[in-house]
């Protein structure tokens, strides 16, 4: 089922001059700029939508793109697209092009939850040396295209690639934040990464479960990791049980990760809002 792509102009919604079967297929067709992406719940409910728009505006400012969002109008347009599509829950992307920042590109596709086995058995990942993103705090369409090379290079059975800086510190995933539990403390990079919207939730609920330190772990510490996971807006918390062929802890989803996922889900359920 193809995704729907519309332009939100001064005249209203109109079809984009390109199409594709998914958000991934249409991403390379979009103009250079900045974007944000997430999903809906119960068809038209969203989570931290204004935080997504705050980051979109921040990314535009960092990229030198003059952006002034009409948030009520944007909400209404997205809601119309979602209801007209009739798919129920959707995954959607909002893109702002550098050349026409007054025209928003709105793309939606049906939302498919993660396979249950990823949550119960955990994911396997690898690292990519010296792969830190340029301008990491800007969510740019350039990176969305560039990361395809790393995605295509992942062996079968590998779910994500974690980026390493020049000194070997684990920064983030291709489209996620990374976390590790070392010596009973939750560690995640506090700089040199995109500040994720889901990360905001993790950092809010985590102190109820264990201490938190905004400090990246080194690749040499993988054998000492007790647990690990990643987070993103569309996926929440995803356990990671292996990195570069090395089992994390006992190679099973850890109890702290399970507790954090429960706390995360409880937070989500009490903070949803209508578009």
pLDDT tens-digit readout, 238-271:
999 999 999 999 999 999 999 999 999 999 999 9
Cα separation, 147 vs 163, whole angstroms: 10
What are the residue ranges spanned by the domains of the chain?
4-110, 116-269
Read out DSSP for 167-234? Answer: T-BB-B-SSSEEEEEETTEEE--SSSS---HHHHHHHHHGGGTS-EE--PPBGGGGGG-SEEEEEETT
Half-sphere exposure of 118 (CA within 13 A, CB side): 17
Domain boundaries 116-269, CATH class:
alpha beta
Q: Tokens 């295209």 sit at which residue?
A: 145
Q: Which two tokens stand for residue 189?
A: 């990079």
pTM of the model: 0.95
For the segment 37-89, what is each residue's pLDDT rounded down to a tens digit?
999 999 999 999 999 999 999 999 999 999 999 999 999 999 999 999 999 99
- Percentage of the chain beyond pLDDT 90 is 96
Residues in Cβ contact with 210 at an 8 Å cutoff, skipping those fewer than 6 apart: 181, 184, 185, 186, 256
| Architecture in CATH of 4-110 | 2-Layer Sandwich (3.30)
């Amino acid at each position: 089922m193809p995704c729907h792509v519309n332009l939100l102009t001064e005249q209203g919604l109109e079809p984009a001059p390109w199409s594709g079967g998914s958000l991934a297929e249409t991403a390379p067709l979009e103009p250079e700029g900045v974007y944000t992406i997430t999903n809906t719940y119960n068809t038209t409910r969203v989570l931290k939508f204004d935080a997504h728009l705050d980051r979109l505006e921040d990314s535009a400012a960092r990229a030198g793109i003059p952006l002034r969002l009409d948030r009520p109008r944007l909400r209404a347009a997205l809601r119309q697209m979602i209801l007209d599509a009739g798919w129920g829950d959707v995954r959607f992307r909002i893109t702002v092009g550098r050349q026409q920042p007054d025209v928003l590109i709105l793309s939606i596709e049906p939302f498919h939850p993660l396979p249950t086995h990823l949550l119960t058995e955990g994911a396997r990942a690898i690292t990519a040396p010296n792969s830190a993103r340029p301008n990491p705090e800007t969510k740019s369409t350039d990176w969305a295209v560039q990361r395809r090379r790393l995605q295509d290079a992942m062996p079968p059975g590998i779910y994500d690639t974690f980026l390493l800086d020049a000194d070997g510190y684990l920064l983030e995933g291709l489209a996620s934040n990374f976390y590790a539990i070392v010596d009973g403390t939750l560690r995640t990079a506090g700089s040199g990464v995109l500040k994720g919207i889901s990360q905001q939730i993790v950092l809010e609920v985590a102190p109820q479960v264990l201490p938190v330190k905004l400090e990246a772990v080194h690749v040499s510490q993988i054998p000492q990791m007790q647990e690990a996971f990643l987070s993103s807006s569309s996926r929440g918390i995803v356990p990671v049980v292996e990195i570069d062929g090395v089992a994390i802890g006992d190679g099973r989803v850890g109890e702290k990760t399970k507790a954090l996922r429960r706390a995360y889900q409880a937070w989500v359920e009490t903070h949803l809002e209508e578009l």
